Structure 1
Amino acid sequence: MLEPAAQSRLAPFNLLAAERLREAATLLAHQDDSPYRVAAYRHAADAVAALETDVRELFEAGGIAALNGIPGVGVRIAGALAELARTGRWAYLERLRGSAEPLDVFCTIPGVGPILAKRLHETYHAETLEQLEAALHDKSVKPVSGLGPRRQAALRAVLGQMLARIRPVRMPPGDEPSVDDLLDVDREYRAKAGADQLRKIAPRRFNPKGEAWLPVLHTRRGPWHFTALFSNTARAHELDRVHDWVVIYFHADSGGEAQRTVVTEARGSLAGQRVVRGREPECLSMYERDAR
């Protein structure tokens, strides 16, 4: 740890960012994630705390590349620092805390207040900025009340610029884990959750008593790191599917994060089977292959 006199010379934002990185390391350790990832966040926290140049100044001057150049800071942590610098929030840490709140996240978008944030969430069922961006580009989705074509186009542009700055890599379309891996993570999560073998977090949403009930799994398959949780969304609660829908976040070490939801299919040829939403044809092919 730095001496108080040394700390006083450093940028306050850097100390705040280092504190957030250390908190992520502590939560990951408590949730039984890889010791190497835990150590990476702690080493990055020490490096950021020791900087005399404000991280926000580095980001404004050189973008993600400048943050990635900090010793001990890789591409994913550079993205986290960029998000903190740009919005004052870090969605990944809030997920680890169990305190992710989409309305608060949407209010970080310039021009979006609490009322519009609520309408965006309720209309699109979006939980993240990335999901909101996809919904705004989907012409088949009904428009939000009070959001005309011109304002929607402006919101798409602002959100696109915002995401382009705070994420180091946009995951290329189709560059995802196989459905075999996603369904295997789903099986591991539900089995361990059912056997009470996972650490639990206390989500802020739909949890008036503040109970730690939501199991969280961190695991790997090849180059992919996965985090799995039951879906604690308004829609899942409305349909009583909280303990059926499993949200799986995934990323490779090179950066870029996405998510898929695994559910029990209720209709059609896949009825009764676990499927990855949006990748049903691949799931059908997998089950047919396994049956042969």
Structure 2
Amino acid sequence: MSQTQGPRLHPVNTRIAEKLRDMANVLEQQEEDGFRIRAYRRAADTVEALAEPVDTILAHKGREGLVALPDVGVGIAAAIAEMLLTGRWAQLERLTGELEPEKLLRTIPSIGPKLAARLHEDLHIDTLEQLEMAAHDGRLEGAPGVGHRRAAAIRAYLADRLGRRRIRSSAASQQLEPPIKLLLEIDAAYREKAAAGELRKIAPKRFNPHGEAWLPVLHQRRADWRFTALYSNTQRAHELGKTHDWVVIYFHTDASAEGQCTVVTAGQGELKGQRVVRGREAECAQYYARARP
């Protein structure tokens, strides 16, 4: 007597689906809105039920093939591609306190501990995809200790490791950034809620020998933007005693890649004592000038 068998489950699809469900569970624990939680769970169901391995879809059709799947948009497709190409998912590791950017960057030949720390601190590079973008837009070559030859070697290595089905045009790599007013509002909301003890806290793996859950996490949606805010857990922030002043804000829309910025209290100049977005100080000065009575 024959038994009816269900559809074959591909191990790679099951693994990716489990990670997507892990993200949904983390967001639920951190009190993110239900829309994102449901989106990750629907995407997990889609990936798990696929008749074709998801890595085959990426290899043959690129990210467009992932985006075309039911319930898999641009953001989740990027996450799936990152997991398939690197074996990591920086966003999930960040929200669980497991992210160690310097360790990841040191997996690249010619990047040692000191350079890895500088790339993370100065260029805000957390992932290999961010490193690849910096290698193509000139920021990497301009970093101290890199230069043209080393940057070219890193580009070549990343092209091989991450695959060549990547859009490299300058237009595609442009990241729309939220307005200054919105970023400062997220910064203020995060610091207010963190001070009031209203946010869930995670125990970051880095610079936390006792495993203390000290790092509050905020998720908010404003208009089309989605934000995640955390205090900076970088070596420099710890050295300067700024772990409860510097706020790192990650942002994206449903149709864009993730970007990030750091908001700090200005220590000098006309903006001394004001909250400013690093790299966008001129816009902050204009914002505060308009806000004056």
TM-score with structure 2 length normalisation? 0.87
Residue 290 of structure 1 corresponds to 291
Of 122, 134, 144 in structure 2, the residue corresponding to residue 142 of structure 1 is 144
8 Å CA contact 1:79–1:166 kept in 2: the answer is no
Structure 2 portions without partners, runs of 5+: none
Q: Amino acid of the residue matched to residue 224 of structure 1?
A: W
Say whether residues 1:120 and 2:119 are aligned partners: no
What is the Cα deviation at residue 116 of structure 1?
A: 2.4
8 Å CA contact 2:16–2:47 kept in 1: the answer is yes
What is the Cα deviation at residue 54 of structure 1?
A: 0.8
Measured against aligned partners, the alpha-carbon deviations of 1:227-274 in whole angstroms (never above 9, x if no partner) come to 000000111111111100000000011121100000000010000100
Residues 216 and 167 of structure 1: is their aligned pair in 2 closer, same or farther, counting only changes over 3 Å? farther
Say whether residues 1:200 and 2:201 are aligned partners: yes
SS in 1 for 2:257: strand
Residue 254 of structure 1 corresponds to 255
Residues 81 and 225 of structure 1: is their aligned pair in 2 closer, same or farther, counting only changes over 3 Å? same
Measured against aligned partners, the alpha-carbon deviations of 1:186-232 in whole angstroms (never above 9, x if no partner) come to 00000000000001111110111112110000002211000000000
Q: Partners in 2 of 1:134 and 1:219 — Cα distance?
A: 26
Q: Partners in 2 of 1:211 and 1:265 — Cα distance?
A: 29
SS in 2 for 1:209: coil
Q: Partners in 2 of 1:166 and 1:239 — Cα distance?
A: 38
Residue 270 of structure 1 corresponds to 271
Measured against aligned partners, the alpha-carbon deviations of 1:7-61 in whole angstroms (never above 9, x if no partner) come to 7x31111101000000000000111111011000001111111112111111000
SS in 2 for 1:228: strand
Residues 264 and 160 of structure 1: is their aligned pair in 2 closer, same or farther, counting only changes over 3 Å? farther
Residues 6 and 87 of structure 1: is their aligned pair in 2 closer, same or farther, counting only changes over 3 Å? farther
Q: Partners in 2 of 1:186 and 1:232 — Cα distance?
A: 16
Measured against aligned partners, the alpha-carbon deviations of 1:138-164 in whole angstroms (never above 9, x if no partner) come to 3553114xxx63232121344467397
Measured against aligned partners, the alpha-carbon deviations of 1:55-114 in whole angstroms (never above 9, x if no partner) come to 111100000011112212111111111111111111111111111111342255xxx15x
Which 4+ residue blocks in structure 1 deviate beyond 4 angstroms? 133-136, 163-171
Q: Amino acid of the residue matched to residue 191 of structure 1?
A: E
Could you say what the CA RMSD is over the residues aligned between the two structures, in angstroms? 2.4
SS in 2 for 1:268: coil
When the two structures are aligned, how many residues end up with a matched partner? 279
8 Å CA contact 2:115–2:145 kept in 1: the answer is no
Q: Amino acid of the residue matched to residue 144 of structure 2?
A: K
Q: Amino acid of the residue matched to residue 260 of structure 1?
A: C
Residue 51 of structure 2 corresponds to 52
Q: Partners in 2 of 1:178 and 1:218 — Cα distance?
A: 18
Identity of aligned residues (%): 49
Say whether residues 1:234 and 2:232 are aligned partners: no
Residue 41 of structure 1 corresponds to 40
Residue 180 of structure 1 corresponds to 181
8 Å CA contact 2:101–2:126 kept in 1: the answer is yes
**Correspondence 1:93-132 to 2 at 5 A:** 93-107=92-106, 112-113=108-109, 116-124=111-119, 125=121, 126-129=124-127, 132=131
TM-score with structure 1 length normalisation? 0.88
Residue 63 of structure 2 corresponds to 64
Q: Partners in 1 of 2:59 and 2:164 — Cα distance?
A: 13
